[in-house]
Amino acid sequence: MFPRRAPGHRLATAAVALGLLCSLNTSAWAGARDPAHGPGRITRVPSAAGSETPLSGYAIRSTADVGDSAAAVSSPGYPTQGWYPAGPRSTVLAALLADGVYDDPFVSTNLQKIPKALFQVPWWYRSDFTVADPAQRTYLDFSGVISAADVYVNGRQVATAADVTGAYTRHELDVTSLVKAGTNTVAFRIQPNNPNKNLTMGWLDWLQPPPDQNMGIVRDVLVRRGGPVALRDAHVVTKLAVPSLATADLTVKAQARNDSDAPVTAEVSGTVAGVSLTRSVELAAHQTRTVTFSPDDTPGLHLTSPEVWWPAGMGGQPLYDLDLTASVAGTASDTAHDSFGVRDVKAPLNSDGARQYSINGRRLLVKGGGWSPDEFLRWDRGYVEDRLKYALDLGLNAIRLEGHIEPDEFFDLADRLGVLTLPGWECCDKWEGQTNPGESGEKWTAADYQVAQASMAAEAARLRDHPSVVSFLIGSDAAPDATIEKNYLDALNAADWAVPVVPAASDKSAPQLGSSGMKMTGPYDWVPPGYWYAKREGGATGFNSETSAGPDIPTLDTLRRMMTPAELDTLWKNPDAKQYHRSPSATFGTLKVYDTALTGRYGTPKSLADYVRKAQLAQYENVRAQYEAYERNQTDASKPSTGVVYWMFNSGWTSLHWQLMDRYLDQGGAYFGAKKANEPLHVQYSYDDRSVAVVNNRHTPVSGLTARATLFNPDGTQKYDKTVTGVSVRGDGAHSTALTLPASVSGLASTYLARLVLTDADGREVSRNVYWLSTRSDTLDWAKTDWWHTPTTSYADLTGLSSMAQVPVTATASTTDADGTSTTTVTIRNTGTGKTPSLLTDVHLVDADGKPVLPVRWSDNEVSLWPGESTTLTATYRTSDLHGATPQVRVAGWNAVERTVPAGGLPEPSVPLSSR
């Protein structure tokens, strides 16, 4: 039997009870409600030509519980008492979660308890909308149906599931003849999803898949109104002069379509980049013509001194607008709007066969992360923006979307923030069923080829004018065969796709495009930090499209939110235990490889807290090394690194692996290791040759730098110190070797610390980096490398860190507020009287109950302080996320005595770290 809601259960209450960060679509339910007919919402659709109104939500119900005919269900006035409300973009399970039917799926094994059988039959999605003027033409415009749907309007079927199939195909249904003044009904009978059988979305080994397999409608269904002539497919093709950037040519295109039974003359007019456009177009009945404006006929479209779009950190992100109107006999019939950026993207293969991206003539190392949407595909703009701002905070410049290609607003945000995006199709399920026989996807039918090509056409048209989109990967683990490739390329070319098309994320080739120039050689599970410096497998050479050292254990705060005490006990005590919050994959089902390395290098965990603090240390050093190796090697003459995508940037649920921050946006060792590595001007240690390098990710060269390297035993006893002055380094990712640490140092312990400090010509500290190292190296068994890791046969000895004495770290903090944003300034000081440093000292912003205030962006964190040293950090966050509480600061670390202080009073003056 289907689960029953508690009487009077409210959506807002359910969302709070679930404790989720996103809005669960409840905010979409702002329209009028007809209490006599259940949870449906009525969308008021204006008559204005060119209006696009998204349906405000649905009433949903399993077909197993609905005995009435499709004609009845899709007719106005049909009663929906007992149906479930769903937002305008909602899977079935997302709606049930928002309505409080099931417990929080991010906690323990609650997700496993949701019965899959409920989602093996179709579900009805029903919505009402009103129009005042049925004389205007009316269209339903949508994509995002998973997996397929029969569509009905006012009791009549307007499309079948054979037509409306595939998550990415776009459909426009002319329903003018069925729409009447007053209330109208649209109903979708959504078919169950199976990613191995349908060209939709699946979760592979990322997380435990949702029981409904995301069946539902996950993008807006638009009700479009207009007159006899429709404007469609408006876009701008840009051509930027490179390298001068002095001029740019714009070509405007749009489809003018006469949907009437008589010939008409349409006047197409508008503006683009401040340039006026006008054209008279004669259209026969039901004729479509392409309207084009180019510099040849409109000289103003040859721009001088164009505003050029750059990725964040390289320049600004200006956008231009296109606005068009089609008028018939002086009356507006339809409108079109588009935003776009002017930029040039190239990605040829270098002499080593690796793909090398450049933006506006400047070469760049792609530093990215793999994107995951919410597991239940719930869209929350604020939550997405928070994560993209985290990417910028980490110094990343790109996000890869392997399938799960997000709605338009995602790319709008990426455009505005300057985050490059690398969308593409996903691996291993139906999308690669024809070309990747080792995976579970079924072979394609003749209909699948059409769906795939239609999907490519729809996504190309949707994404082409977003300057943040710099590629499309038409394959992931496998490249398409000749037929599929041709279909994709035909669709892309027809859409005026102007940026590189990559055949695969792996080192595969396609008949027309040739080599991918990418590699997918892993690892996906633990390897030591030194692994990344080897120019082989996943090491820092070429473009690695997805890679990391696997597990990323969250903070203790998050672990206690997502797992039961018994599960937490197993987490740190039993490496062989299946971990539900890791992966459904047999390969990644346990933490054995990771835990064995953690024990081998740091010593056996003594408690959950000890396990977590060792994990943060391990993740900091490993993620830092991954990005640092790719950073250092990017301008090498031989086998340079050209791109690296951390697998993954984030997780769609509460996870134990593949994430730089956790589901709740808390930050630990992985996050701050990445942030440290990606500093604009950075001093770093090289695990392969012991060199100390200075990497300059800025465009401008820098000189007059001073680099200092100091080695200490864990008790703080100094054993080596060297300073090099006059260090210079070119820009755009170049590096200089300041010095090389000696192979042996007298009296140096097996475990030791290396402190690197970089100061500028004025003596100001510009980069500081602390490593924990061993005189005994990790040993890799390269001969036994498999697709997911390279085994380690012996480990570096970092157990000496456990002998470090606890040291007192004081903190003072103050907070200011402005325009809804709070800034907490924290000064921390190692007040110890001996020599022992405070290693990886973490500062957390917490509320009155000690819970983290999230999201938050720190100037720096997880810092190491020697006795007498202090540093001042700033945390920026939304004031509303305090929920009225007074902020507090919790200071902890590897060997710091934990304390929490109020964020009040004036911060004490900072003692520059470089002076110690």
Residues serving a catalytic function are 477, 546
Quick one: CA torsion of 797, 799, 800, 802, rounded to 10 degrees? 160
Question: Angle formed by the axes of helices 381-393 and 408-417, to 10°?
Answer: 30
Residue 518, phi then psi, degrees to nearest 5: -115, 165
Tokens of 303: 């721009």
Which position has the token pair 């919410």? 374
Residue 839, phi then psi, degrees to nearest 5: -90, 135
> Concatenated DSSP letters for 366-381?
EEEEE----TT----H
CB 586 within 8 A of CB 606: no
CB 721 within 8 A of CB 696: no
**Closest CA relative to residue 641, chosen from 542, 553, 734:** 542
Report d(CA 84, CA 94) in Å as an integer: 11
| 3-state DSSP percent of the chain in helix, strand and coil, to 5 | 20, 35, 45
> Residue 80 to residues 183, 300, 665: CA-CA distances in angstroms?
15, 56, 38
> Concatenated DSSP letters for 598-664?
HHHHH----SHHHHHHHHHHHHHHHHHHHHHHHHHTTT-SSS-EEEEEES-S--SSS-SBS-SS-TT
Tokens of 787: 């697709």
Report d(CA 546, CA 888) in Å as an integer: 38
CB 216 within 8 A of CB 90: yes
> Residue 149 to residues 125, 374, 452, 471, 675: CA-CA distances in angstroms?
10, 23, 17, 30, 45
Enumerate long-range contacts of 344-351, CB under 8 Å, 24 or more apart.
344/240, 344/242, 345/470, 345/471, 345/498, 345/499, 345/500, 346/500, 347/470, 347/471, 347/499, 347/500, 347/502, 347/517, 349/515, 349/517, 350/517, 350/640, 350/642
Which position has the token pair 């919505």? 127
Secondary structure of residue 832 in the 3-state scheme: coil
Report d(CA 421, CA 359) in Å as an integer: 13
